Homo-oligomer: A and B are copies of this chain.
Amino acid sequence: MAQYAKPLARLVEELTKLPGIGPKTAQRLAFFIIGGSKENAHSLASAIVGAKEKIGYCSRCFNVTDVNPCRFCVDNGRDSTVICVVEEARDIVVLERTREFKGLYHVLHGAISPMDGIGPGELRMKELMSRLTEEISEVIIATDPNVEGEATAMYLARLIKPLGIRVTRMAHGMPVGGDLEYVDEITLSKALEGRREL
């Protein structure tokens, strides 16, 4: 890195800390920033600081938000009898894009993974349980369709079912627009298992 002028070297180094940004990409980004206008650089910098300063977690659902409680939690237009449990705040963005789900959310901030030392205590499970009042009729578990996500779903189901609340899991199956030939066996068997009458 001795080839760079110091402020440039520092920028490259900072950018390299971001996920998925290696030295080459960082260098390209740094030269782009230097080559751009002063306004653009300031705008990017203030957006970074602004997001970090203003964004926190909702004290009810633990979504990322700039107001507390977050706008999902205070939205009277949403069905407050259904809670959709997700691993990460970004999963909410994806679910919202479907425009299908109109209930509330709960972000666990991870999934059970003994290998990584993440047990139920490291996740926002206690907070979820405290939200399960009489009003709640269903909890949809939308954790990732992998080993950790499934383990978390099973664990939650066993905790919540005794309360007399319906616990559901997102369907496994073939991706829309995909090719049956390329679907893996496990997904295919799950798709068969969950087949529906036409």
Contact = CB atoms under 8 A, between A and B. Distances in A.
Contact of A3 (B4, B33, B34, B93): B93
Contact of A51 (B11, B66, B96): B11
Interface string A15-50: 101111100010111111110101011111111111
A117 interface: no
Given A29-B18, A45-B46, A96-B3, A8 B64 contact: yes
Contacts of A52: 33-34, 36, 38, 41-42
Contacts of A27: 90, 93
B97 A31 contact: no
Contacts of A33: 18, 48, 51-52
Given A4-B93, A5-B55, A64-B5, A18 B32 contact: yes
B34 A45 contact: no
A11 to B, nearest CB: 4
Given A33-B48, A43-B14, A3 B38 contact: no
A40 B52 CA distance: 10
Given A31-B88, A51-B8, A93-B3, A44 B15 contact: yes
5 contacts: A5-B55, A7-B55, A14-B47, A18-B29, A20-B29
